[in-house]
């Protein structure tokens, strides 16, 4: 007998202003806002892809994200500049691991990755430093 399968359908980001944060991510990812209902705003889902939604919550973010999104870009420097122009910023305190960790307008962290990079046995890389971050 086959075991029941489970699939990740959406990743939901908690935020105080889902319209603002969804608009930021819509621009970063080149996806339209697909819908709003209650405390939720969703981005357009790409065929076969995982959806991205934003949920209004009253509580502030308590600390470091326990789950984060990785964003890949052919030109990381240009992507970082664009993210900053849209209201994002580089997150502080992650320089030691060599990853370029960014944050959306409410501080939700994500990694901005080049198409190809190496990771050592300790989980560190050096691409951010090599790119001047």
pLDDT in tens, 88-127: 999 998 888 899 999 999 999 999 999 999 999 999 999 9
pTM of the complete model = 0.88
Residue-range domain boundaries for the chain: 1-60, 68-133
3-state secondary structure string, the chain? CCCCCCCCCEEEEEECCHHHHHHHHHHHHCCCEEEEECCEEEECCCCCCCEEEEEECCCCCCCCCCCCEEEEECCHHHHHHHHHHCCCEECCCCHHHCCEEEECCCCCEEEEEECCCCCCCCCCCCHHHHCCC
1-60 placed in CATH 3.40.50.300: no
Domain range 68-133, CATH class: alpha beta
Find the mean pLDDT for residues 3-27. 93
Confidence of residue 67 (pLDDT cuts 50, 70, 90): confident
Beta bridge partners of 70: 111
Find the mean pLDDT for residues 49-69. 88
């Amino acid at each position: 007998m086959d075991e029941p399968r489970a699939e990740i359908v959406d990743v939901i980001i908690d935020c105080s202003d889902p319209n603002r944060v969804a608009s930021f991510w819509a621009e970063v990812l080149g996806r339209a806002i697909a819908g709003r209902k209650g405390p939720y705003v969703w981005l357009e889902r790409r065929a076969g892809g995982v959806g991205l939604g934003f949920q209004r919550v009253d509580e502030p973010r308590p600390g470091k994200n326990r789950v984060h999104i990785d964003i890949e870009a052919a030109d990381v420097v240009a992507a970082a500049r664009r993210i900053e122009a849209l209201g994002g910023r580089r997150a502080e305190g992650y320089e030691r691991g060599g990853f370029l960790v960014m944050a959306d307008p409410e501080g939700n962290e994500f990694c901005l990755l080049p198409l190809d990079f190496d990771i050592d046995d300790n989980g560190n890389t050096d691409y951010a430093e090599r790119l001047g971050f």
